[in-house]
């Protein structure tokens, strides 16, 4: 009897390769003719923070709802804790923060938390939940009297009050000011330090970078890149310079700042950290240079959408 | 993984009976508090039947009688039916349509809440508001309309009306599953007001045109009001069993429609 206990404890503790707590395998999800997810493969391992990064409408929320068992996929497998996400036992071990249009407005913050805590067998004490979500001073306020950011914090509180092992946070920091965002980030890190696993969605690269152990970039229903924040950032940094020139490939490689050169039909593609010094040098060496184009390197489309979003939301 | 897998939702989580009871209790308590503090709800659901009773039952016709029963007593039964119907329809349909359409129900479904607790809370809340309305009508009648009846008669009247909350809560569930968050309240009014008029809740049944009287026989508020009137000895000469039968059949149809809506929601996303 004792022998069977040990391996169970071991798998629980180590965030090892095989401890996958949630996964999508070759998942397709359609809404009528709209293909929200296309062949998505995605894994969350125990004890890590994974960010699903993508612009609005990329399929992030759909992925979260599938993992919560709120709807079935059209094809592929969705697994949570090795089982079906609709298994009610799984719901005892997961917490979810979803984007909600309207929450009952006449209930007080502490009443909302009291009700949700009741659903779980071993909830966190209400005082801890209030502290974690930064709601101590607002505990007696009615939900309808809160600001947008404060409402987000209540939804976060409802997600964590059951002390779940796996936390799904769909756009948790939308509408939060800088201060509140930082507080929430700290709290998410704190959850993970206690052995919890977090999947969050965001359209801020900065947020994914600050929090996540791993980032999966999703665009138009497809995962287009996965990796550590450093790997993902490397894909986005730098510029791609395309032009038709007489300068030879070997000579191009020696221009300071050039990382990579590739021939593409009659033109060349040059990857560089910064475009301007390289272009200046190119024009100095080849007055007849033609067809000059400068674009962002890699992940163009998705990140253009991301940066546009961020520009709209930030004050500057 | 399609419909079959999604019905797993209804598999029970092992909980102690005490824990389950606590969940049901808190769900109902907060549903009640939520509605009690919602001025739109209390203002329309509580004050309208009381106001109409005072006006038509106590101020205007207090000295008259309908078929041997004094108007103040008669109208506790009819405005009581009206009140029960409003409390139950608005309590369930408007709340459910809003919770469904604006994402709150998804948060609840993602939690380990037993799904039935959500519906039970709505029913219990409707019954409590129904009780409050009938007690208030009775208190007004006794104080200002000279209403007197034996306790057993009053218990029967109250019990009948509060039980009548069930068919209208079921109807509210069905409406809540098929109405949008904004269209639900006007849709309820569109059904509620004509139905109560045709059932003889505004104008005593015997004064209604013959055509309307015929229509009334397929309307649930007619059957409930006749049972309530029967409790105070003012019923139409039809057996109670027929009225109960009609109400039970109506409840079943509404629950069936609500179930279709519930299953449809389990399978598709909204919002």
A68 CB within 8 Å of a chain B CB:
yes
Query: So what's the pLDDT on residue B267?
Result: 66
Which own/partner pairs from A85-89 qualify as long-range (CB within 8 Å, at least 24 positions apart)? A86/B5, A86/B6, A86/B8, A86/B9, A87/B8, A87/B11, A88/B8, A88/B9, A88/B11, A88/B12, A88/B13, A88/B112, A89/B13
> Would residue A80 be called left, alpha or beta, if left means φ above 0 and alpha means ψ between -120 and 50 degrees?
beta
Q: Which fold has domain A238-296?
A: Alpha-Beta Plaits (3.30.70)
Residue from A150, A138, A80, A149 nearest A111 by CA: A138
Note the ipTM here: 0.87
pTM (two decimals): 0.82
Mean pLDDT of chain A: 84
Q: Per-residue confidence at A14, pLDDT binned at 50, 70, 90?
A: very low
B217 CB within 8 Å of a chain A CB:
no
On the 0-12 / 13-18 / 19+ scale of CB atoms within 10 A, A28 is: middle
Whether domain A14-227 has CATH 3.40.50.720: the reply is no
For chain A, where do the domains classified as CATH 3.40.50.300 start and end? Answer: 14-227
Best mutation target, A69, A80, A92, A172, to test chain B (most B CBs within 10 A) = A69
Residue from A250, A224, A247 nearest A236 by CA: A224
Minimal Cα distance from B264: which residue of A? A71
Best mutation target, B41, B111, B122, to test chain A (most A CBs within 10 A) = B111
Tens-digit pLDDT profile for residues A186-220: 999 998 998 899 999 998 888 888 899 999 988 88
Minimal Cα distance from A170: which residue of B? B107
Closest approach of B124 to chain A, Cα-based (Å): 17
- Sign of torsion, CA B111 B112 B116 B122? negative
B165 CB within 8 Å of a chain A CB:
no
Contact B23 A120 (CB under 8 A): no
Average pLDDT over residues A159-182: 90
Q: Is the pLDDT of residue A311 over 50?
A: no
- Please report, rounded to a whole number, the percentage of residues in chain B having pLDDT higher than 90: 62
| Cα A77 from Cα B269, distance rounded (Å) | 18
Q: Per-residue confidence at B130, pLDDT binned at 50, 70, 90?
A: very high
Is the separation of the CB atoms in B76 and B137 below 8 Å?
yes
Query: So what's the pLDDT on residue A31?
Result: 86
Q: Is the pLDDT of residue A315 over 50?
A: no
> What token pair was written down for A36?
């929200």
| Cα B65 from Cα B79, distance rounded (Å) | 16
| Neighbour count for residue A127 (Cβ, 10 Å) | 11
Contact B107 A96 (CB under 8 A): yes
B5 CB within 8 Å of a chain A CB:
yes
Query: So what's the pLDDT on residue B66?
Result: 84
Q: Per-residue confidence at B255, pLDDT binned at 50, 70, 90?
A: very high
Q: Is A80 helix (H, G, I), strand (E, B) or coil?
A: strand
Among A70-79, A140-149, B113-122, B229-238, which is the least confidently predicted range?
B229-238
Tens-digit pLDDT profile for residues B214-241: 898 899 999 999 999 998 888 776 788 8
Minimal Cα distance from B268: which residue of A? A71
| Cα A244 from Cα A74, distance rounded (Å) | 47
Question: Could you say which of B104, B109, B268 has the minimum Cβ distance to residue A100?
Answer: B104
Q: Name every residue whose Cβ is closer than 8 Å to that of residue A239 and which is 6 or more positions away in sequence.
A: A271, A272, A273, A274, A275, A294, A295, A296, A297
Tens-digit pLDDT profile for residues B59-70: 888 788 887 888
Contact B112 A84 (CB under 8 A): no
B109 CB within 8 Å of a chain A CB:
yes
Contact B30 A102 (CB under 8 A): no
B22 CB within 8 Å of a chain A CB:
yes
Query: So what's the pLDDT on residue B64?
Result: 84
Among A69-73, A158-162, B50-54, which is the least confidently predicted range?
A69-73
> What token pair was written down for A141?
């306020």
B151 CB within 8 Å of a chain A CB:
no
Please give the residue that has the higher pLDDT: either A148 or A295. A148
Return the beta strands (E) in chain B as ranges. 65-66, 69-70
Q: Is the pLDDT of residue B11 over 90?
A: no
Contact A70 B267 (CB under 8 A): no
């Amino acid at each position: 009897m004792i022998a069977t206990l040990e391996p169970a404890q071991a798998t629980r503790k180590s965030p090892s390769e095989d401890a996958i707590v949630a996964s999508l395998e070759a998942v397709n999800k359609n809404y009528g003719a709209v293909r929200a997810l296309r062949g998505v493969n995605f894994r969350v391992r125990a004890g890590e923070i994974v960010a699903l990064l993508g612009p609005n409408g990329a399929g992030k929320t759909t992925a979260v709802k599938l993992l919560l068992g709120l709807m079935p996929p059209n094809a592929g497998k969705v697994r949570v804790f090795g089982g079906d996400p609709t298994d009610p036992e799984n719901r005892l071990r997961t917490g979810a923060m979803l984007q909600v249009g309207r929450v009952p407005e006449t209930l007080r913050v502490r009443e909302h938390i009291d009700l949700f805590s009741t659903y779980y067998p071993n909830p966190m004490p209400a005082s801890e939940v209030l502290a974690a979500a930064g709601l101590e001073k607002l505990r007696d306020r009615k939900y309808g009297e809160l600001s947008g950011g404060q409402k987000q914090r209540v939804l976060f509180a409802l997600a964590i009050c059951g002390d779940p092992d796996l936390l799904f946070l769909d756009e948790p920091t939308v509408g939060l000011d800088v201060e509140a965002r930082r507080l929430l980030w700290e709290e998410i890190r704190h959850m993970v330090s206690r052995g919890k696993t977090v999947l969050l969605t965001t359209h801020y690269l900065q947020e994914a970078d600050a929090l996540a152990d791993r980032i999966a970039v999703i665009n138009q229903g497809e995962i287009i890149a996965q990796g550590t924040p450093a790997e993902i950032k490397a894909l986005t940094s730098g510029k791609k310079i395309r032009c038709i020139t007489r300068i030879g490939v070997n000579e191009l490689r020696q221009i300071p700042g050039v990382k990579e050169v590739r021939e593409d039909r009659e033109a060349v593609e040059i990857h560089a950290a910064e475009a301007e010094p390289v272009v200046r040098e190119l024009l100095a060496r080849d007055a007849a240079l033609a067809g000059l184009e400068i674009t962002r390197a890699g992940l163009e489309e998705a990140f253009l959408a991301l940066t546009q979003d961020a520009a709209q939301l930030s004050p500057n | 993984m399609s419909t079959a897998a999604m019905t797993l939702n209804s598999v029970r989580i092992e909980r102690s009976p005490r824990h389950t009871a606590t969940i049901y209790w808190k769900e109902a308590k907060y549903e009640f508090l939520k509605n009690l503090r919602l001025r739109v709800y209390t203002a329309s659901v509580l004050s309208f039947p009381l106001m109409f009773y005072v006006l038509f039952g106590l101020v205007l016709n207090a000295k008259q009688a309908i078929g041997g029963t004094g108007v103040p007593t008669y109208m506790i039964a009819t405005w009581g039916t009206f009140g029960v119907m409003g409390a139950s329809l608005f309590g369930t349909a408007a709340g459910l349509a809003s919770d469904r359409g604006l994402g709150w129900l998804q948060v609840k479904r993602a939690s380990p809440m037993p799904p039935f607790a959500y519906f039970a809370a709505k029913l219990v809340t409707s019954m409590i508001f129904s009780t409050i309305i009938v007690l208030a009508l009775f208190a007004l009648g006794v104080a200002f309309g000279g209403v007197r009846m034996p306790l057993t008669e009053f218990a029967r009247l109250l019990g009948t009306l509060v039980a009548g909350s069930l068919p209208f809560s079921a109807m509210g569930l069905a409406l809540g599953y098929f109405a949008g968050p904004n269209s639900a309240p006007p849709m309820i009014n569109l059904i509620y007001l004509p139905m109560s008029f045709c059932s003889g809740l505004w104008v005593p049944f015997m004064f209604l045109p013959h055509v309307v009287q015929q229509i009334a026989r397929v309307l649930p508020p007619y059957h409930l009001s006749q049972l309530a009137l029967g409790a105070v000895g003012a019923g139409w000469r039809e057996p109670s069993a027929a009225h109960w039968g009609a109400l039970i059949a109506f409840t079943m149809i509404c629950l069936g429609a609500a179930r279709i809506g519930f299953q449809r929601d389990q399978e598709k996303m909204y919002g």
